[in-house]
């Protein structure tokens, strides 16, 4: 199960050296069946500091905005490339990771868009609902479907 909230974040709210110091990855993901109730997604996650450390996954996710079913398995590069070629919708982005206490913030810069998002996955809905976003976060877009990756994919 995935429990996630998402915000837009103004670029000026990030520290100047953020992208040079934060760990990050290049992400290519494709959606095999974008109109179905359950999405089949494949993803290549390439570590930007060590490009030889690609991780390939295939995931099945239910549609939803806040809480979704999620199941994933690692696949090899050959399987990723074969499935990715067949995906009618794709998205690419650079993701940076920011850690605060025990929480991981995922900050995405999209290749095809001029906005930045920040996502946080939570262990429980109660934890997610009780989370108070820091002042440097922007507008919350958790419940705006136009900001879901499947809807941003082209």
What is the per-residue pLDDT across 50-65, written as a single tens digit (0 to 9) for each?
878 899 999 999 988 9
Quote the DSSP letter at residue 101: T
Q: Dihedral through CA 59, CA 62, CA 68, CA 71, nearest 10?
A: -30
pTM of the predicted protein model: 0.92
Separation of alpha carbons 2 and 71, rounded Å = 9
Place of tokens 């999620």: 70
Domain boundaries, the chain: 2-152
**What CA–CA distance (Å, rounded) separates 148 from 68?**
12
Fold of the 2-152 domain: Hypothetical Protein Pfu-838710-001 (2.40.320)
Element (H, E) at 125: helix 125-130
Burial (CB count within 10 angstroms: exposed 0-12, middle 13-18, buried 19+), residue 116? buried
- Determine the pLDDT at residue 19: 79
Can you say how many angstroms the Cα of residue 4 is from the centroid of all Cα atoms in its chain? Answer: 10
Residue 136 has pLDDT above 80, yes or no: yes
Section 3-22 average pLDDT = 87
Q: What is the pLDDT of residue 53?
A: 86
Distance CA 96, CA 67 (A): 23
């Amino acid at each position: 199960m995935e429990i996630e909230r998402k915000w837009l974040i103004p670029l000026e709210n990030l520290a100047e050296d953020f992208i040079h110091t934060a760990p990050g990855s290049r992400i290519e993901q494709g959606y095999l069946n974008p109109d179905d109730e359950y999405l089949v997604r494949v993803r290549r996650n390439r570590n930007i500091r060590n490009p030889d450390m690609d991780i390939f996954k295939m995931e099945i996710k239910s549609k939803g905005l806040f809480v979704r079913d999620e199941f994933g398995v690692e696949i090899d590069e050959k399987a990723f490339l074969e499935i990715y070629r067949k995906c009618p919708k794709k998205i690419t982005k650079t993701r940076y990771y920011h850690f605060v206490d025990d929480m991981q913030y995922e900050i995405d810069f999209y290749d095809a868009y001029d906005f930045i998002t920040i996502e946080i996955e939570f262990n429980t809905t109660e934890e997610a609902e009780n989370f108070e976003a820091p002042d440097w976060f922007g507008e919350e877009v958790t419940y705006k479907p136009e900001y879901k990756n499947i809807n941003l994919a082209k």
